[in-house]
Amino acid sequence: MEEETSYYIESLAEVNGQLAYIAEEGGKCFIVYGGRVIGKEYDPAWSPVEVDGKLVFTAERNNRWFIVREK
């Protein structure tokens, strides 16, 4: 049996037919997209949206903000 992980979840979005949302664990916000954790290298990662079929979100690292696009 798989171990369950619980997150605080908000900002649900459909991106290219898959669910994307903001999750928070241990005070750190990141994106879960298609069941994969994305953006843990940022703190926080916010606002998942779809642009041209790709996941795009805003993120902060070292007091600098970025717009991050899925490869």
Hey, where are the domains in the chain?
Answer: 8-69
Residues sharing a CB contact under 8 Å with residue 32, sequence separation 6 or more, in sequence order:
7, 9, 19, 20, 21, 23, 38
Identify whether the C-beta of residue 8 lies closer than 8 Å to the C-beta of residue 24: yes
For the stretch 31-60, pLDDT in tens is: 999 999 999 999 899 999 999 999 999 999
Evaluate if pTM is beyond 0.85: no
